[in-house]
Amino acid sequence: MSEKILVLGSSGQIGTDLVETLRNNYGADNVIASDLRQPSAERLAQGPFETLNALDAKAAFDIIKKHKVSQVYHLVAMLSATAEKMPLKGWDLNMQSLFNFLEMAREKHFKKMYWPSSIAAFGPNTPRDNTPQLTVMDPGTVYGISKLAGELWCEYYFKKYGVDTRGLRYPGLISYKTEPGGGTTDYAVDIFHKAAKDQDYTCYLGADSSLPMMYMPDAIKATIGIMEAPAEQVKIRTSYNVGAFSFNPEELAASIRKEKPNFKMDYNIDSRNEIAKGWPSSIDDSVAREHWNWQPEFSLEAMVKDMLKNLS
Ligand code: SER
């Protein structure tokens, strides 16, 4: 039987790129995009779309049945900086939307679910350099707490009910098609929008705030890679560390200057810097490499060149 794939949060930063790649791989009609917001007319014409609030369990159930969905990529979440401003709302969205779909999977209405975690699931007592797969996790943000709890719930549903849950701990993600919203790592996208227009950038993280990052094509490769891996290779059902490169704002600006020598950056540090300080600065993803052959392709330099080319 051919797969029918539902992507929740299809208009978001990851969803936009993921839907495009899945449609190329599985056929446009087999990938149902869904989001709170309708996409542009151009994107609407590219394949099926359903308006959905992932908190509405009944509406979600109807869409699963209508399209005979077999796999779900659940990309609905309130990101770290926004959730700090509305903690209970962030918790409710991130957790309730997860449970709505875990429950439908438990009742066997679909087979397989992807749910993303993040470097935000780590915390200030986690070893920051080369953060291992298995280590102290004491997240200090609502978003991070929801990601750690969600990881554990995904594993619980796998062990207890046999639900095929799979997940990755994304680093900060960099892309040009859709901007992120409300994250701590957003600066690494914003900076390119300025640099491409030959404008200066004011950075809200400190010069030495180093974070793991990844270019979107690699994030999509990892996401589809873990979903397509044979089940027996996916030995970890919380979430896998995945990494590509790490940099701080100074290092990113220096890379951009190799392409745009006149690019200037100054600093106006805000509360997001405190969030970043509690996150890893680099990631050990050897377990993902070993279990299901994860391997990133883009270096920092290649990413910078590609971002500037596409935004210019
Ligand atoms: N990029 C996200 C954020 O900054 C972390 O997963 O909130």
Q: Are residues 153 and 193 in the same domain?
A: no
- SS3 label, residue 2: coil
Other C-beta atoms closer than 10 Å to the C-beta of 39 total 18
Judged against a pLDDT cut of 80, whether residue 154 lies above it is answered with: yes
The beta strand positions in the chain, using DSSP E, are: 5-8, 31-35, 49-51, 71-74, 112-114, 117-118, 164-166, 168-170, 172-174, 201-203, 211-215, 240-241, 245-247, 265-267
Q: Are residues 12 and 158 in the same domain?
A: yes
For residue 262, the domain's CATH number is 3.90.25
- Show the CA angle centred on residue 92, arms to residues 87 and 98, nearest 5°: 130
Which residue's C-alpha comes closest to atom 6 of ligand 1?
Answer: 118
Q: Is 267 a catalytic residue?
A: no
> Based on C-alpha coordinates, what's the Rg of the chain?
19
The torsion of the CA quartet 28, 4, 116, 302, rounded to 10 degrees, works out to: -30
C-alpha of residue 181 to centroid of ligand 1, in Å? 9
Q: Are residues 130 and 264 in the same domain?
A: no
Q: Are residues 58 and 151 in the same domain?
A: yes
* Predicted local distance difference test score (pLDDT) of residue 308: 98
**What amino acid is encoded at 276 in this protein?**
A
Confidence of residue 2 (pLDDT cuts 50, 70, 90): confident
Q: Are residues 237 and 249 in the same domain?
A: no
Q: Are residues 165 and 141 in the same domain?
A: yes
Which of 80, 190, 241 has most ligand 1 atoms within 8 Å of CB, for mutation? 80
C-alpha of residue 67 to centroid of ligand 1, in Å? 31
Q: Are residues 155 and 249 in the same domain?
A: no
The residue-averaged pLDDT of 220-224 equals 98
* Predicted local distance difference test score (pLDDT) of residue 165: 98
Q: Which of 235, 218, 236, 226 is nearest to 171 (CA)?
A: 218
C-alpha of residue 185 to centroid of ligand 1, in Å? 6
* Domain assignment present for 287: no
Domain extent for 194: 172-213+244-281+298-311
Q: Are residues 269 and 145 in the same domain?
A: no
Ligand 1: residues with CB < 6 A are 79-80, 118, 120, 143, 170, 172, 183-185
C-alpha of residue 276 to centroid of ligand 1, in Å? 9
For residue 112, the domain's CATH number is 3.40.50.720
The residue-averaged pLDDT of 191-212 equals 98
Residue of 73, 143, 176, 240 with catalytic role: 143
Q: Are residues 141 and 205 in the same domain?
A: no
* Domain assignment present for 237: yes
